[in-house]
């Protein structure tokens, strides 16, 4: 393995993979290193069910409705210029995926907050279908090196030479140090810091903590989107998502007393944006003293389930739930980080040489709340844009830098990925959102975690995740405890 790379991409989900593939096409002279903390399939991109939103080969007025739906879902806290630019680029993103070999279903899907059917999908496993194509393509590229089970544990900037040192631990627990002029954070969200959630165990956000430690600017960190319909199972950290597209096909939410309650909360009823539906469910759970509500999807026949949602159907049957006959117990679960590291449309951050793309970034597209299926198209559009930007820069990496031998240091870091402390943190953060904790309660939590942080100065995954937890709570304190966003009843 080389010691110096012009570009290191941390993350091999849809954002990192789109970037790597496009950059390798534009600059075959460069060697690009992509690190994946676990096996490639352990990422949110692989798990995406519903699809990828785009007004494709339609009229300017249709693109306008996509822009309006996105702004409305984001409570107009989005960056409108960026939303406009991106909405016009999504067609280009879909074209690129088609060119690389992704095959979508001919029928488009409808999801909450969208006024038209504009979701490209592949049954209910869109992410898996896209990622298998992208990873196969990446493995063919001679100038992309992918290392799986390579967990980044520290990043330092050498301000004199203007390069970054990236330390990562592999399967063999060997700690490696490599250097790069340009480091891209494509490391996904923070779902596993809040549980229950839909996220895989990789989503512990330590890489974002490293970026924060380097001084990078973040925004909207506490704007965590809860998905209204996670399958309710007792004592699980990661749960099955029942795609919004199921409600797009007419399924309805009902409380434990048999009341179809969404009609009381929003005129879009079950297809209102996710924050509104989630808050309504939490309220109904409180009013009926229940741990969950139910999704009544009995209007969808078994044949339709098997045709449109074969993966979800198979998973439900494993729990002895036959959705054409049984109500599905559901509750809101943490799902998506709307904020993150602030970037411009090229993926540049506030630190020279550091970039962010995908869920870890805050581009201004989502505002307070993401419109369903906008995140995959955000990752593709910004991944392509960053590839173009980097390809035009002088990013060759001469061996002018003083050489440092790869360290053979042993590390126990990988064992610590999901610690008991992390599990406790994730339950506490879930309660902050569910119960809408008060200003004083959040202040107490911030002091507690700052104290824990001081005691835990060893640079572990937990150390860096705690940086994110504290910043998230401070953002929550600033945004939600003074100016609580309440849902409107219609
Ligand atoms: C169940 C589920 C369903 C979803 N459905 C949809 C949908 O239908 N449509 C939609 O638009 N969005 C959907 N989303 C959201 C969407 O999938 C994500 O926002 C998107 O895939 C994020 O892509 P990403 O490339 O930024 O991150 P990810 O796909 O999460 O990839 C992160 C990468 O970073 C790597 N990484 C993290 N930490 C480290 C480290 N320390 N060292 C090395 N590597 C590291 C990981 O190994 C991984 O390769 C869904 C999410 C979930 C969880």
Q: Is the pLDDT of residue 92 over 70?
A: yes
User: What is the rounded average pLDDT for all residues in the chain?
Assistant: 91
**Ligand 1 pocket check for 383: Cβ under 6 Å:** no
Q: Binning pLDDT at 50, 70 and 90, where does residue 490 land? A: very low
- pLDDT for residue 387 is more than 70: yes
Q: Is 432 in the pocket of ligand 1 (CB under 6 A)?
A: no
Identify the DSSP state of 403. Answer: P
Residues 195 and 37: beta-carbon distance below 8 Å: no
Radius of gyration (C-alpha) of the chain in whole angstroms: 22
Nearest CA to ligand 1 atom 10: 373
State residue 451 phi and psi, 5-degree precision. Answer: -65, -45
Number of CB atoms found within 10 A of residue 420's CB: 7
366, part of any domain: yes
Is residue 288 domain-shared with residue 306, that is, in the same domain? yes
pTM of the entire structure? 0.93
Number of domains in the chain: 3
Structure tokens that stand for 321 in this block: 């739930």
Q: Residue 1: its pLDDT value, please?
A: 57
274 has catalytic annotation: yes
**Structure-block tokens of residue 157:** 């900037």
Q: Which of 34, 45, 132, 461 to mutate to test the pocket of ligand 1 (most atoms within 8 A of CB)?
A: 45
Beta carbons of 112 and 273 less than 8 angstroms apart: yes
In percent, how much of the chain has pLDDT > 70?
93
Q: Give the range of the structural domain holding residue 464, as residue numbers without chain letter.
A: 418-481
> What CATH number is associated with residue 176?
3.50.50.60
| Ligand 1 and 202: CB distance under 6 A | yes
Contacts of 159 (CB under 8 A, 6+ apart): none
* Per-residue model confidence (pLDDT) at position 405: 39
Helix extents (H) in 101-201: 126-140
What's the pLDDT at 395? Answer: 74
**Closest to 461 in 3D by CA, of 213, 188, 205, 214:** 205
409 lies in some domain: no
Mean pLDDT lowest for which of 180-184, 339-343, 377-381, 400-404? 400-404
Ligand 1 and 211: CB distance under 6 A: no
Asked if residue 487 belongs to a domain, the reply is no
- Mark whether 172 and 33 lie in a shared domain: yes
Q: What is the CATH number of the domain that holds 289?
A: 3.90.700.10
Closest C-alpha to ligand 1, atom 37: 187
Residue 20 tokens read as 């790597």
- Domain membership of residue 397 (yes or no) is no
Domain check: are 37 and 104 in the same one? yes
CB 122 within 8 A of CB 129: yes
Same domain, 351 and 300: no
In a domain, 488, yes or no: no
Establish if 87 belongs to a structural domain: yes
Kindly state the tokens that stand for 96.
């690129």
Q: What is d(CA 193, CA 398) in angstroms, rounded to the nearest whole number?
A: 39
Round to whole Å and give the CA distance between 150 and 8.
12
């Amino acid at each position: 393995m080389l010691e110096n790379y012009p570009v290191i991409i941390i993350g091999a989900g849809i954002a990192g993979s789109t970037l790597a593939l496009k950059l390798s096409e534009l600059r075959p002279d460069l060697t690009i290193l992509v690190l994946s903390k676990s096996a490639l399939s352990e990422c949110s991109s692989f798990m995406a069910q519903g699809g990828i939103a785009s007004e494709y080969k339609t009229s300017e007025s249709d693109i306008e409705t996509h822009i309006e739906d996105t702004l409305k879902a984001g409570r107009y806290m989005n960056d409108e210029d960026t939303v406009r630019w991106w909405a016009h680029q999504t067609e280009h993103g879909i074209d690129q995926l088609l060119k690389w070999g992704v095959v979508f279903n001919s029928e488009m899907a409808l999801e909450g907050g969208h006024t038209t059917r504009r979701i490209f999908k592949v049954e209910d496993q869109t992410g898996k279908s896209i990622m298998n194509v992208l990873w196969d393509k990446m493995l063919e590229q001679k100038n992309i090196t992918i290392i799986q089970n390579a967990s980044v544990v520290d990043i330092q900037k050498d301000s004199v030479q203007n390069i970054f040192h990236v330390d990562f631990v592999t399967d063999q627990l060997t700690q490696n140090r490599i250097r790069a002029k340009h480091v891209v954070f494509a490391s996904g969200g923070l779902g596993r810091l809040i549980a229950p959630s839909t996220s895989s165990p990789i989503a512990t956000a330590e890489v974002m903590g490293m970026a924060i430690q380097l001084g990078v600017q973040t925004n909207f960190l506490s704007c965590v989107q809860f998905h209204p319909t996670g399958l309710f199972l007792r004592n699980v950290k990661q749960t099955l998502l029942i795609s919004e597209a199921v409600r797009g096909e007419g399924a309805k939410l009902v409380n434990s007393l048999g009341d179809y309650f969404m009609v009381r909360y929003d005129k879009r009823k079950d297809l209102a944006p996710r924050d509104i539906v989630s808050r309504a469910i939490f309220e109904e759970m409180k009013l009926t003293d229940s741990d969950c509500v139910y999704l009544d999807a009995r209007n969808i026949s078994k044949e339709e389930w098997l045709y449109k949602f074969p993966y979800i159907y198979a998973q439900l049957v494993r729990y002895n739930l036959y959705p054409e006959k049984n109500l599905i117990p559901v509750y809101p679960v943490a799902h998506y980080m709307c904020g993150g590291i602030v970037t411009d449309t090229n993926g540049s951050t506030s630190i020279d040489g550091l970039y962010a793309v995908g869920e870890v970034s805050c581009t201004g597209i989502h505002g307070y709340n993401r419109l369903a299926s906008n995140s995959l198209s955000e990752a593709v559009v910004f991944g392509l844009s960053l590839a173009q930007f980097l390809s035009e820069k002088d990013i060759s990496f001469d061996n002018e830098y003083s050489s440092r031998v790869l360290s053979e240091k042993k590390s126990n870091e990988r064992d610590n990925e999901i610690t008991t402390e992390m599990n406790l943190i994730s339950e506490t953060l879930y309660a902050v959102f569910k119960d809408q904790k008060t200003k004083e309660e959040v202040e107490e939590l911030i002091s507690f975690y700052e104290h824990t942080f001081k005691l835990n100065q060893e640079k572990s995954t937990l150390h860096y995740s705690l940086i994110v937890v504290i910043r998230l709570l401070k953002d929550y304190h600033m945004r939600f405890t003074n100016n609580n966003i309440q849902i409107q009843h219609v």
